[in-house]
Structure 1
Amino acid sequence: MKREIFERLVKWKNKPDGSRNVLMLKGARQVGKTWLLKELGEKCFEDYVYINLERYADTLTIFEETLDPHIIIEQLGLIFEKKIIPGKTLIILDEIQSVPRALLLLKFFKEEAPEYHVCCAGSLLGVRLHSGISYPTGCLETIYIRPLSFKEFLIASGKEENVKFIETASLEKLESMSFEHLEYLLREYMFIGGMPAAVQTWLDTKDYVEVKNILANIEDDYRSDFSKYTDAITSKKITEVWENISKQLSKENKKFIFGLIRNSARAKDYSLAI
């Protein structure tokens, strides 16, 4: 699945060691951050080491024992049985919010081991709520990853001719033509959305019910995140706001009214949840 943002990742890879920061992909869950980093490793490097910090418990003690990037690289090579070679091996730290000290380590990768290509991804909400952890300002190149655009959706659907038409047709030509076909594709995109899993399911099955199930699963994953970094009361309020957003903003009056969440609710009651 082609992503236009991939070109920026390639440019990052080709920067000189001294001017290349650690790469940080930010974005909502399931927009394709992990896929993009693995794709970069497969297409632009001889090899890559992928570490999901939520799953690989064996790696967690490394970050607790030292912040020396060379020792950590050596240990990662032993754990994953790979030789990590500067310029040839991409190091991917996924779900970095799970290990706050790993975020702190990024500063030392930049300052003490700039010859290595290091990238990371994950929800920064959890990281920002961990007290005592310094954010590595000035050491990161941050790229925001979003769902597929309409153009990317068309390309994934094999409709490159429509993309070329949209990009090259003159205004006079556009004004004189009917757009029923493009309008149909746009409505299709608006229903399916740009989440990669939903788009891939649509391409594989052409089944709207299956797509709806995928989107429901993604929403469930978001809901489960609400309780990860907050207390029970705040998590409940986050859920209340979440359930009210679409209902309220679908009305003609596009103003979010806290009193519609529950009687006598006020903005200050939900400021932290928002």
Structure 2
Amino acid sequence: MNQAAVLYIVPTPIGNLGDISQRALDTLQAVDVIACEDTRHTGKLLSHYQIGTPTWALHDHNEQYKADQLVSRLQEGKSIALVSDAGTPLISDPGYHLVNRCREAGVQVVALPGPCAAVTALSAAGLPTDRFVFEGFLPAKDKARHDKLESLKDEPRTMVFYESPRRLLETVAALVTVMGPERRLVVSRELTKAFETTHGLPAEQMLAWLQEDSNRCRGEIVLMVAGHKADADALPVAAQKTLSLLSADLGLKKASALTADIYGLKKNALYKFGLEAGL
């Protein structure tokens, strides 16, 4: 099964050890080295499945220089599996620099499908899944977090975040302020584990629900936010500006008709807007 000079991206369970695939187990058994975030953490998984493959630590603090060493071993004909502590490597976990260096060096990279907390949570959230955006972890500092949420306020796709249990309340409070008390949120925690929960509420109610019991903020957390729904009757800003400019010379009635033709809008809606705006 194993090929020499291949970097395998191997997802590992996010909680329940039974979620690992047979292909992942075969790969971890067959490779020469397993690169992992924490050798002790991965060691427990390997011990459970009686896998004795050597491990190398590869984490945020050493990845850039360790990547070159691992690429050299791959070029010598060795095979390496990359794992994170849980889930799919590179998804808010180390591995980008190593994969990037492998691509630059012409080393084959093979990704195995498997567990990912973001996708697992989203599939059970009851929010739209036809289009979504994964944002990883929000900034820890209040202002940076607020600014990031402001930039996402009008995002129409479902947003998926990872969040620390220590910052969950602060983040939900910021969402109430920035995106409004009625924005739909879903919090999933401890996925695939004994105390797994998924709960959805409008933002303000979610904040109150979390504050009622500190246990609701514990564990590994995925926070999902419904996308912004634009008002169907809202006029594009560009159309509003065009109407304002044209009405100064043509009058509101003619300006409304011309603007409607330019933007494919209803002239009555434009005329009504103009009257309300005093054009």
Q: Same fold (TM over 0.5)?
A: no
Return the structure number with greater relative CO, CA threshold 8 A, min gap 6. Answer: 1
Larger radius of gyration: 2
Whichever structure has more helix as a proportion of its residues is 1
TM-score (ref. length: structure 1): 0.31
